[in-house]
Amino acid sequence: MTEARGSAGPIGEAHARHTPGTPCWVSLMVHGLAAIQDFYAALFGWEFQPGPPQLGPYVRALLDGREVAGIGQLPPDRHLPIAWTPYLASNDVDLTAETVRLCGGTVGVGPLDAVEAGRLAICSDPSGAVFGIWQTAAHRGTAVTGVPGTPAWNELLTFETVNIAKFYETVFAYEEETVSADPDHVVLHIDGRPVAAVHGVGNALPRDRGPHWMTYFEVADTDEALVRIVDLGGHVLKPAHDGPHGRVATVADPEGARFSLLQRRR
C-alpha cells in the first residue's frame, strides 16, 4: 500500500474526489443482501438507506448520516466473483467508456443513468480487473473519509504494472510514480495528488481471483477488528502487520469479498 504524503487522506478533500480519475465511491454486489448489511453494520457501524434500483435491490451505507459505500444484490442466476469495486470519477461516462474500449478494456454494464443520482458504467481493464466509472449528479459519492469505517485507499493487484498502468494513464490521464523499493509498484497521481496504485505481484495473485482492485477501509484498531470479523463469520486472509503507513490486514466477508483494514499511524 502507498499513501498520500502531506494530505488529509489518500483520496483527498471532498472537492477533489470528483476530479476525473479519482476514486469517488466503492460498491459491493452480493447474494445475501440482508446478511451482509448485518456484517458491515456490526464491523463498521454503518446504517443503510435504499439506493437507485437499476441494478436490482441496492442500499447505500451511511456513517453518521453521510454516505460511504454501496451494496447491491446479485440476481440468483448470476454467479460472479463477489468483490468490492471502486468507481473512478468522470465528467463524461460515455466518452470514458469508449476510451476504455479503444484501449483494450471491456464495458460490461452501461453506460446507464441511475435515476437522478448520476450516470455509470462498469468496466474491466485488459487484465480483467473490474472497476466502475461514475459521472456525478445528485449523488456526490463518498461523503466522508479519514475516520474509521470509511474507504482509505484503492490498489490494483495485477500480474505486472507496465502495460496495465499505461491503460489507466491513457484512460484517466494519470501521472505515474514508481515506488522506489519495488519497481513493479506504481502510484497514480492526479494534479500532484496520489489517488490509487497499481501493484504487479506476478504469480502471487490468488488463483481463484485473478487481477482485482483492493479497497482499504480505515479502522481504529486492526487487531480488534480482526477478532470481530471472525466472530461475524468473516475470514482473515493476511494477518495484521505493521507497514510504513500503519497496521494493515487483508480479510474477506462471509460471501468472500476481499478488502483490507488500515489502522493509521498517529
pLDDT means per 10 residues, the chain with 266 residues, are: 41 62 96 97 97 82 96 84 94 97 96 87 96 85 91 96 95 90 89 95 85 97 98 97 91 97 90
Region of residue 189 (phi > 0: left; psi between -120 and 50: alpha; otherwise: beta): beta
- What pLDDT does 190 receive? 95
Kindly state the cell numbers that stand for 70.
Answer: 454501496
pTM of the model: 0.91
- What pLDDT does 51 receive? 86
Query: Within 13 Å and on the Cβ side, how many CA atoms surround 130?
Result: 16
DSSP code for 11: T
CB pairs under 8 A, 24+ apart, for 56-61? Answer: 57/33, 59/33
CA 107 – CA 93 distance, rounded (Å): 11
- What pLDDT does 187 receive? 95
- What pLDDT does 55 receive? 66
Amino acid letter for position 65:
G
- What pLDDT does 29 receive? 94
DSSP code for 261: E
- What pLDDT does 8 receive? 36
Grid cell 502471487 in the structure block, residue: 204
Residue 226 CA from chain centroid, whole number: 20
Residue of 6, 18, 8, 1 lying closest to 190 (CA atoms): 18
- What pLDDT does 148 receive? 97
The DSSP bridge partners found for residue 26 are 86
- What pLDDT does 17 receive? 64
What's the CA dihedral at 227, 201, 7, 20 to 10 degrees?
-110
Kindly state the cell numbers that stand for 108.
Answer: 460490461
